[in-house]
Amino acid sequence: MIDIALLRNDPELVRENIRKKFQHQKLPLVDEALALDGRRRTLQTEGDALRASRNALSKEIGRLMKEQKREEAEAVKAQVTANAERLAAIEAETDEVSEKLKGVMMRIPNIISADTPIGKDDTENVERKRFLEPKVPDFEVPYHLDILEKLGGIDIDSARRTSGQGFYYLTGDIARLHSAVLAYARDFMIGKGFTYCIPPFMIRSDVVSGVMSFEEMDGMMYKIEGEDLYLIGTSEHSMIGRFAGQTVEEAKLPLTLTSYSPCFRKEKGAHGIEERGIYRIHQFEKQEMIVICKPEDSEAWYEKMWNYTVELFVSMGIPVRQLECCSGDLADLKYRSCDVEAWSPRQKKYFEVGSCSNLTDAQARRLGIRYKTEKGSAYCHTLNNTVAAPPRMLIAFVENHLRADGSVEIPEVLRPYMGGKTEITPRQA
């Protein structure tokens, strides 16, 4: 949510930002917000005048009563009563207008970075850097599901029977590899000075609306029937919500946290759930990183965070690239965002395995997350980034470490988490 002062002082900047995001249907929101804000300020001015008048009239009644001017005092009392009735009406209307204004402001997208490329959708995202040389082996790389099945590591058919489309069972060494990657990612981030957390996996609706836009909420979140609770789509939701309504001591910033959670997503929209494979699914697990910092530090943290993900993948021998997200691919609360994409030897192209975002103060304004300053307090900036998210990580892993005989090599950094194993071999027919 942007600062209302920005909207008042430079509404054309806000309109131009909406145009850059190709959300022209939201342009009327600017005038609607300005009208509501104007009405709220008018009511506030009138209300303040009535409160000041109430104090003056109360003194006047006292003076008149002392002077035995009861009739005049009663007339003033009648004025006080009328003012009180009007003030009550003003306060009720102010609450109503303020609630409407908040709803409109929450639909206006955050101002995007000057470095964000302008484009309509993810096809216009811009590659910035590559890390490790992509390789294509001299043998055919099978579809990832076929690789995992030959390794005895996945059961999609049983998951369809128990849970439907978009779920899976991981078994044997592949299940162990899945856990190993998450444990390695956890320890990797702890080594970077981040504090490890396991958050609640369900959050209330006021937290949901604080961490994401209404459009994202509708497309992602599962609601618990009969309760004001939603399953989280990423631990960022719960981790940022932890600080709602809090004012953090400036000396404690930045807060650098890494969190593990299962994630649950409807995956509504154009991509949908795959008939085969585990690239886009309803349930997965993830190691995330969260930073809450002062405004002047957020861009530096943004650069550090996506580079940490790159470093993690490179340490496991997986080629990746950084892709800057264009304006039309940014969710409404994001100031800027980039994807880390891993190389697929089978497809001979990159695919997304993580995303890093700087939301500036958009989430902090919605949730009331501040830090103390010499002059009072200010809103924090919030950032989030994927460290590792199996099963997409597994797809990149098995494709890049597959051998011609169907076995998969375990890189050295993961071997301590795999009981010293150096490879996963196909099961015997």
Q: Which part of the chain has CATH 1.10.287.40?
A: 4-105
Model confidence pLDDT, tens digit, residues 18-65: 999 999 999 999 999 999 999 999 999 999 888 888 778 877 777 777
In the β-sheet with 255-264, what is the strand arrangement from edge to edge?
A: 126-131, 320-324, 336-344, 349-358, 381-388, 283-293, 255-264, 195-197
Query: Does the structure show a pLDDT above 80 at 182?
Result: yes
Q: Angle 415-417-419 (CA atoms, 0-180°, nearest 5)?
A: 70
Q: Who contacts 161 (Cβ-Cβ below 8 Å, separation ≥6)?
A: none
Peptide bond preceding 199: is omega within 30 degrees of 0, i.e. cis? no
321 pLDDT above the threshold of 80: yes
Q: What is d(CA 422, CA 403) in angstroms, rounded to the nearest whole number?
A: 13
Overall fold of domain 4-105: Helix Hairpins (1.10.287)
Structural domain 122-424, CATH architecture: 2-Layer Sandwich (3.30)
The tens digit of pLDDT for each residue in 328-359 reads 999 999 999 999 999 999 999 999 999 999 99
pLDDT in tens, 155-169: 999 999 999 988 999
Question: What tens digit of pLDDT does each residue of 106-135 get?
Answer: 999 999 999 999 999 999 999 999 999 999
Q: Which amino acid is at 406?
A: G
Question: Residue 268's pLDDT band (boundaries 50, 70, 90)?
Answer: low
Cα 121 to Cα 208, 326, 335, 415, distances in angstroms: 25, 7, 16, 40
**Each residue of 217-259: pLDDT tens digit?**
877 899 999 999 999 999 999 999 999 999 999 999 999 999 9
CB 202 within 8 A of CB 263: no
Model pLDDT, residue 141: 96
Start and end residues for every CATH 3.30.930.10 domain found in the chain: 122-424
Reported as a pLDDT band with limits 50, 70 and 90, residue 429 is: low
Largest CA distance in the chain: 109
